[in-house]
Chain A
Amino acid sequence: MERPATLARMAALPPPLTDWFSARGWSLHPHQIAMLETSDAASTLLIAPTGGGKTLSGFLPSLSEISQNPKSGLHTLYISPLKALTADIRRNLRAPIEGAGLPIRVEDRTGDTSYTQRRRQRADPPHILLTTPESLALLLSYEDAPRIFSGLARVIVDEIHALAESKRGDQLMLLLSRLQSLAPGLRRVGLSATVEDPPALGRFLGQDTQIMIADPGPEPDITVLETAAPPPWAGGGGRYAIPEILNEIKAHKTTLVFHNTRAQAELFFHDLWLQNDEGLPIGIHHGSLAREQRERVEAAMAEGRLRAVVCTGSLDLGIDWGDVDLVVQVGAPKNVKRLVQRIGRANHRYNAPSKALLVPANRFEVVECKAALDAVKAHDLDGEPRGPGPRDVLCQHILLTACAGPFDASALFEEVRRAGPYQGLSRAAFDETLDFVATGGYALRAYDKWQRLKETEGLWQLRDPRAAAVIRQNLGTIIDTETLKVRLKGRFGGTPLGEVEEAFAATLTPGDTFLIGGQVVRYEGLNELTVEVTRQPGRDPKVAVFNGTKFATSTLLAQRILQIFQADRWPDLPAHTAEWLMLQRQVSRLPDAESLLLESFPHDGREHLVIYGFAGRNAQQTLGLLITKTMEDAGLAPLGFVATDYATLIWGLDPVTDPAPLFDLANLRHSLETWLAGNALMKRTFRASAIIAGLIERSHQGRRKTGRQATFSSDILYDTLRKYDPDHLLMKITREEAMRGLIDFSRVEAMLARTAGRIELRRLPRLSPLSAPLFLEPGRIPVHGQGRERMAEDAARQLMAAAGLA
């Protein structure tokens, strides 16, 4: 499409739209005007707070251009990470378009769109199409993609900060590169919440991106909740603060109560209801609940029928809830950026301060909340730099490209390199990836006859065009964990309650009780692929573990905590916490950033070693695994360990007296390699990459049911490759992924670099105040139920007394 050179000067909105705005007394925000004025820029990143009319700013130039030149065909593509958001936006756009009588057609296209509708959209696309990265991938895999997109003028990527955090973002940028080849004049717009490094996000979006930062509005009103009872010494959930949180809910119109994990949200919600004497309407929302359940809560919320929702990250994005006037964050936020984005959920009106309360779940988190608060005030956001685009996503992109038609390898390589995340990709790495897609890339060249892609006359194409259907079914980079649906047993198939991980279901025996959707249910049995449960009112749940994604405290927060430790006194901290830190200083010392503090002491007939690495939960866990392995080799008889964001506690039969060899980096790296190879985490990572790369197909519920002997576990493939082809591309990808993901070895390395061999071992006669909470830290399974809660309380009192804290 031809782009009018005078566009910048024609930025004014079509008169009917201007009239419609003024009739409602609306005026444009400065950044909305700026977006109109610079709408001919090739790439623009707008960073604006929630509620700043961000999405509308993205669309205004499109509304203007289409009204002025209302020819048929696709003009603007809008991409959002959430299906629900596309429907929401369609409704929101309808008001001004219909109100101003603009001749513009807007439609959405997601996995929920009907087959007929989708076919029609390909033949006769609307002016504005609202979609998700996965649906766009599918569209681009069709042979008629060039026709559909040749006239495309603008693409708007909403919530780009969220997309950039996962492989969906890498895939989307590859897709934009493809679109750019089909429509060379295409202009890109990214809409983002506040991020720590806007230029990096700009480079992710496109070359020479202009960055616009909207007025962030007033500073948020954020404080730590004061409670009558002090927070417990360890554990999570913040249940001690329920009375005060209920009071806050009463004092506000609508409150969102965020938790870091689903299990904690469930436990909190259960206890909240036990104390909700006035029967305030309060709901629960998290990703493991059945869609029906979630939709009911969302609808009630939108209609203003709920006073509060207990939720997890599932409410982090998008949908406009309207009248939220308070955000409560239970548990330390772990990450300042996410906290800021969450706080933005309160008060969606522009230029009104957001109000938020932090509720530390334990005494350590009191310090962490203080650190987070300081960081927010200092506008100091955290974030690890984005790694290069992963090659499993590139494999899928090559397959998708082949589905659409024959391609030239060099042209595709150039196109891929124009995508931000793949700027640094070498030709050799690209060729290796293409070889994997085409031939399997095995050391044993077994598939010369049956290549997946064949090169004929310089162009690569599918050997068997029928393979396209299967490739299309497997597009996308979201890998669901294997889950089983949970249903209440009943005559009519039972009410769906949600889902649990298959691995969790495997641990259940009939009679076990667990929490889901705020109810205690009893496990009755497995029927086909459904977990059948009955209601078990009033009983304490025995177990409640879902796929609780445990976020690790960010490096920035860890550093700030260490800084707080260096203060002489702590007048800003509650007395109970300040005294605790002071006592630690007397008995041992407080950890700092320049050295690695270790404590060793006997307790309860066992020897203990505490490593204050402050490297985040995942890295501390990895450290625990590696150090215990080294201790085992050294005959120090370790018996176990537990890790938190700050420290690893190891117990065993013999004391550690010479710690330096334990922390030898080369040694640690060596044990990491051997330990990793057979590890379940690696197998899980392999599975995800193998699905994305198109080596194995997704297991859809239906296929799993009928799959029978035909499908087999990806673990078998992993073991086979490890044995026969350990340097295969997928093994390399798996190692890279695991290192930066759950194993987080990079932070172990960073910690060792930061402390540079300055390891100080303090031998103490008994446990130290700072280590005491570690003894209460539940290992793999959190503390549940009242009985165990009381046991923990008793144990806590004794431990605290032993540390001189009682």
Chain B
Amino acid sequence: MHALSFHGQMLQLLPSGALFLPERALLCVSDLHLGKSERLARRGGSLLPPYETRETLARLDAEIDRTGAATVICLGDSFDDKASLDGLAEDDRLWLVRLMAGRQWIWVEGNHDAGPLDIAGTHRAEVQIGSLTFRHQAEPGAQAEISGHFHPKVRLAGKAWRAFLMDQARLILPAFGAYTGGLWAEDPVLSGLMGKDAVAVLCGPGLHRIPMPRAATTASTFAR
């Protein structure tokens, strides 16, 4: 666990890619992309192993169990699209309902699952918790913001890692879903968004912390 104070709140970055606020017993996960394989199949694409929803739910179940979370925020793109909810296998749907029972559950909408979803819980475009703003996609200039959307990943020791990105103003969570790719931290979009002091915290038991990798030095620097 990687604990830190961020805009007056205690945060714990967990090896799974989830975020926990112990003072509020609040667990936040982003980009679950439930029903991804079903959506690809529906669209005539390949038939991927249809096990990602139960894998993602199993991970979420384990984190809720371990942290004893009273509130869960799903930070957008929880479903791969709006029809994915209908496509969930009955077992998976019941599992989700079981997880939600007795907890405050907030669905923040993302670009994949924008609009009303036919599932219990609170549905919000963004959420304010104390000093912190939870929204799906980071907004330039925002302060004390927690977001997801980009699925950041970094390379270290010849391996790709899902990663949290963090600077003074914001924290971006990695994707929690099983079938999710990622965007390299050195992508200009992320380099442009994150401040000079940004760090990446790598998912995994070590939760290694490294300076956020940035795009290679621009061509002109070397030419001279």
Contacts and interface: CB of A to CB of B under 8 A. Distances in A.
Mutual binders A and B = yes
Interface of A: 439-440, 442, 444, 446-447, 449-452, 463-464, 466-467, 470, 489-491, 503, 506-507, 524-527, 532, 534, 694-697, 707-713, 716-717, 720-721, 723-725, 728
B223 A717 contact: no
Given A440-B47, A713-B160, 6 more contacts: A442-B50, A503-B158, A527-B215, A534-B222, A710-B181, A720-B49
A394 to B, nearest CB: 16
Contacts, number: 110
Given A721-B49, A724-B55, A728-B49, A532 B216 contact: yes
Contacts of A442: 47, 49-51
B113 to A, nearest CB: 14
Given A450-B41, A710-B181, A725 B49 contact: yes
A142 B75 CA distance: 45
Contacts of A490: 223
Given A447-B41, A467-B45, A503-B158, A440 B219 contact: no
**Top-5 shortest CB links A-B:** A525-B216, A440-B47, A464-B44, A712-B181, A446-B50
Nearest to B152: A709
B181 A709 contact: yes
A707 B216 contact: no
A371 to B, nearest CB: 38
A218 B119 CA distance: 81
B44 A463 contact: yes
15 contacts: A440-B50, A450-B41, A450-B42, A452-B47, A464-B44, A470-B45, A695-B46, A696-B48, A697-B46, A709-B150, A709-B182, A712-B179, A720-B51, A720-B178, A725-B51
Nearest to A721: B49
A439 B46 contact: no
B89 interface: yes
Given A447-B41, A527-B216, A724-B55, A439 B47 contact: yes
B175 interface: yes
Contacts of A466: 44
**Interface size bucket, B side?**
35 or more
Contact of B155 (A463, A506, A709, A716): A506
Contact of B48 (A464, A524, A695): A695
Given A446-B89, A527-B216, A728-B49, A716 B179 contact: yes
A329 B181 CA distance: 45
Contacts of A470: 45
Contacts of B158: 503, 506-507
Given A506-B155, A526-B216, A708-B183, A489 B222 contact: yes
B135 interface: no
Nearest to B160: A713
B48 A717 contact: yes
Contact of A724 (B44, B51, B175): B51
Name, among A503, A507, A716, the residue most crowded by chain B CB atoms within 10 Å (CB to CB): A716
Interface SS majority for chain B = loop
B78 interface: no
Contacts of A711: 181
Given A709-B175, A712-B179, A724 B217 contact: no
Given A712-B181, A720-B52, A720-B178, A446 B38 contact: yes
Given A524-B216, A708-B183, A709-B175, A489 B223 contact: yes
B67 interface: no
A524 B219 CA distance: 10
A676 B175 CA distance: 28
B181 A447 contact: no
Contacts of A467: 44-45
A463 B223 CA distance: 54
Nearest to B39: A450
A709 B155 CA distance: 16
B66 to A, nearest CB: 20
A490 B222 CA distance: 9
Interface string B22-64: 0000000001000001100111111111111011000000000
Given A450-B38, A491-B223, A720-B52, A712 B180 contact: yes
B136 interface: no
B151 interface: yes
Contacts of B47: 439-440, 442, 447, 450-452, 695
Contacts of B38: 446, 450
B81 to A, nearest CB: 13
Contacts of A697: 46
A184 to B, nearest CB: 34
Nearest to A694: B46
Contacts of A452: 41, 44, 46-47
A483 B181 CA distance: 19
A444 B51 contact: yes
Contacts of A449: 42
Nearest to B53: A446
B49 to A, nearest CB: 5
